[in-house]
Amino acid sequence: MLALTQGTVGMRRLRGFFILLVLANLLFFAWGQGYFGDTEEGREPQRLSKQLAPEKLRVAGTLAASAAPPAETCRLVGGLSLEEAQRLRVQAGEKAPGLQLAIKPVDEESSYSVLIPALSDRQAAEKKILELKRLGFSDVSLAQDDGPGKFAISLGLFKSAQAANEYLQVLAKRGVRSATMQARRKPATRAQLVVRGQSDLLVKRLPELLAVFPSASVADCPAERKP
């Protein structure tokens, strides 16, 4: 009888312990679901929801790298005729459209003429030539001009404006004050090409383009002056 009673008490204790365990699990589940208050305060989803415009966050290093423009290079191509420069620009547009080419005409060497402007007719011009020769100027002639300067008198041709101006002063001291200086420039027949583009493209394509222009020369573009 005593053994039966002790067995009954043990069963009751075990049953009570089991019930307490179930209740504890239920309480823990309810706490985890937030039934007892805001339990997500320190968790990651809760912090993300409180961020201001989280979709605008970017990695600074990646942004800076993608914003950097590609390096560009400038080369000056010389030794070309104007026709060759134009042909090279057309070829570059077809074979290397990423390059930018600008033509700079190169003026031929200028000369400066000292002369007496056109007189009224040939007779007046020949009379003036005789006067100049009597003053000791032997290198005088009627200008070779069929236009408005047809009866002008040429007194000399000089390579620089300074030399022409010095001769004008000599003429003035000897009484010839009607002489003037006139610049004579030939049309440009030579040209340079300014080539700009990304460094890797320019280094690769420019030698290919210049392969058929043996007289071409390449140099760095002069540094641009800042205002």
pLDDT one-digit tens code per residue, 198-212: 988 888 989 999 998
**Average pLDDT of the chain to the nearest whole number:** 78
Q: For residues 96 and 125, give the distance between their C-alpha atoms in angstroms, rounded to a whole number.
A: 60
What pLDDT score was predicted for residue 180? 92
What's 72-108+188-220's CATH class?
alpha beta
Q: Nearest to residue 79, comparing CAs of 190, 211, 195, 194? A: 190
Provide the pLDDT confidence category of residue 187 given band limits of 50, 70 and 90.
confident
Q: For residues 100 and 86, give the distance between their C-alpha atoms in angstroms, rounded to a whole number.
A: 13
Q: How far is CA 2 from CA 8, 10, 15, 83, 109, in A?
A: 10, 13, 20, 127, 137
pLDDT one-digit tens code per residue, 79-102: 898 899 999 999 988 888 989 999
CA quadruple 16, 17, 18, 19: dihedral positive or negative? positive
Q: Where are the domains of the chain?
A: 1-30, 72-108+188-220, 111-184
Specify the pairing of strand 141-142 against strand 153-158. antiparallel
Look at the block and give the residue holding tokens 């030698």: 207
Q: For residues 80 and 195, give the distance between their C-alpha atoms in angstroms, rounded to a whole number.
A: 14
What pLDDT score was predicted for residue 115? 92
Are domains 72-108+188-220 and 111-184 of this chain identical in fold?
Answer: yes
pLDDT one-digit tens code per residue, 20-57: 776 777 777 666 666 665 554 545 555 545 555 555 55
Q: Which CATH architecture has domain 111-184?
A: 2-Layer Sandwich (3.30)
| 224 has pLDDT over 70 | no
pTM of the model: 0.43
